[in-house]
């Protein structure tokens, strides 16, 4: 098989324990930018990948970002 062209990284964006229950669109975008930087720092192999899509899901009282990176 060829080289993997898609990678998914799942990271928390916001949890129930956070001080604020509401989040503006601007605040959400800022948090997502931070999450993408964190994903790239934790996974140096993503250097050759671009962020293709972001899906959000709520799991166990936590908002998580599912980052889809592609070559």
pLDDT at 3 over 80: no
pTM reported for the whole predicted model: 0.84
Q: How far is CA 51 from CA 1, 20, 47, 60, 61, in A?
A: 23, 28, 10, 25, 25
User: What confidence tens digit (pLDDT) does each residue in 11-69 have?
Assistant: 999 887 765 667 899 999 999 999 999 999 999 999 999 999 999 999 988 999 999 99
Specify the pLDDT at position 18. Answer: 64
State whether the Cα torsion 30-32-33-34 is positive or negative. positive
């Amino acid at each position: 098989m060829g080289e993997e062209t898609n990678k998914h990284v799942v990271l928390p964006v916001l949890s129930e324990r956070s001080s604020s229950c509401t989040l503006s669109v601007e605040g959400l975008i800022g948090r997502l930018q931070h999450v993408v930087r964190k994903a790239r720092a934790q996974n140096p192999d993503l250097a050759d990948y671009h962020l293709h899509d972001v899906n959000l899901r709520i799991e166990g009282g936590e908002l998580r970002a599912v980052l889809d990176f592609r070559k």
